[in-house]
Amino acid sequence: MDPWIAEAAARIAARAPQELERLVAVSSPSGDVAGADEAFAVAQSLAPEGVRVERAPCSSIDHAEDLILTLQGSAPSGRIVLLGHVDTVHSHADHRALEDHGETLVGAGSVDMKAGDVLALGVLRELAERPETFQEVALLLVCDEEWRAGDFVHAARFAGWDACLCFEGGELTAGGEEAVVVRRKAAGTLQVLAHGRKAHSGSAPDTGANALLALASAAQSVASRHDPQGSERLTAVPTVINCGEAFNVVPGTGELLCDLRADDVDTFDSVLAALPATVDGVRLERALLRRWPSMDARAQTAPLLETAGERLGRPIIGASRGGASDASYMAPHIPITIDGLGPRGGGAHTADEYVVVGSLRSRAEVALAIVDAVLCG
């Protein structure tokens, strides 16, 4: 392993548990302005001296401004943007401070993705000591990744940069090799609204138009499109239904939500087109609330990962993942976009979310090897 990679990774890993404890201590669910501001303040306190601090408008309205930390180097070239998010899916009531369980660190938003933010901040500090190797390095932290309905406003700003490195949770291959994410599915959230007609379910049930039955039919229609082994690898999964007011009333309105994933975002249009406009007198209104693009950087990143693996002293494998990420928005603007650089863990979006302590150093090594390959060729 390159000596700088080994030494820098050891420094990052030594500080990471305490820094993660500080960041996880902040409850910062998506949309909470105070929580985001507090998380950004912690991140800023962990940044290197001399970094330029900027708060930029968020992609989502009524959110805190996002944070951009930028280092200016002395090299004529070499621009990298590091990417992360501080928002979580955990409400304030369900927030769990970081707990040390020996081999794991358990806490709300730990692996998704505050531990990744900690590693990114560590990489930023290490690069601050090597300004001669880069022109510009920025760390972009956003506060709306977990529930963004619109486009990602920051992508065009970094168009043409040499690389985007996103620090979502890392992984190993089935054979135990270090893996990073270079391919992601597109993601969509399908909403179906049912507009039926209320009626007394005992004395006059047939005068109503049952929204619940119509939504059940719509759910079956969506599920029938599920084809993960097909050409577009489409998964179509009904996930939430809200309908009905009382046990003795034919429900007149309701809502169905479905999670869609595929290789191409346009595949979702076929799911919408297959939904009926009406079911037994109930009008169905459908819309895609979220429409995340796909990402496929396998060809562009393969030579870089080979070089990085040589400097790391072990292979780095480009892998695929189904979950959505902000890296997908960056990939059309920055061909060398690599995700999954954070530490390994599990239980994301659950009360038992955790980070594997031993992976803090190994994944810091992976990130630094890739950074070194981008900047030093």
Per-residue pLDDT of the chain (377 residues; tens, 9 = 90+): 999 999 999 999 999 999 999 999 999 999 999 999 999 999 999 999 999 999 999 999 999 999 999 999 999 999 999 999 999 999 999 999 999 999 999 999 999 999 999 999 999 999 999 999 999 999 999 999 998 888 899 999 999 999 999 999 999 999 999 999 999 999 999 999 999 999 999 999 999 999 999 999 999 999 999 999 999 999 999 999 999 999 999 999 999 999 999 999 999 999 999 999 999 999 999 999 988 899 999 999 999 999 999 999 999 999 999 878 999 999 999 999 999 999 999 999 999 999 999 999 999 999 999 999 999 98
Instruction: Give me the residue label for tokens 């603007």.
Output: 333
Same domain, 136 and 227: no
What pLDDT was estimated at residue 257? Answer: 98
Contact 209, 196 (CB under 8 A): yes
Other beta carbons within 10 angstroms of residue 201's beta carbon come to 16
Which CATH number fits the domain that encloses residue 152? 3.40.630.10
What domain range is 346 assigned to? 3-184+294-376
Same domain, 333 and 197: no
Amino acid letter, 65: E
What pLDDT was estimated at residue 196? Answer: 98
Among the listed residues 215, 277, 211, 267, the one whose alpha carbon sits nearest the alpha carbon of residue 236: 267
Same domain, 175 and 260: no
Radius of gyration, CA atoms only, the chain: 23
Same domain, 90 and 160: yes
C-alpha distances in Å from residue 144, one per residue of 30, 87, 189, 197, 252: 5, 6, 16, 37, 33
Q: Is 340 left (phi over 0), alpha (psi -120 to 50) or beta?
A: left
Amino acid letter, 298: R
Amino acid letter, 146: E
| Residue ending a domain, choose from 291, 314, 333 | 291
Contact 136, 164 (CB under 8 A): no
For residue 173, the 8-state DSSP code is: -
For residue 132, the 8-state DSSP code is: G
Structural domain count, the chain? 2
Same domain, 49 and 176: yes
Instruction: Give me the residue label for tokens 């396998």.
Output: 298
Classify burial at 195, counting beta carbons within 10 Å of its beta carbon; exposed 0-12, middle 13-18, buried 19 or more.
middle
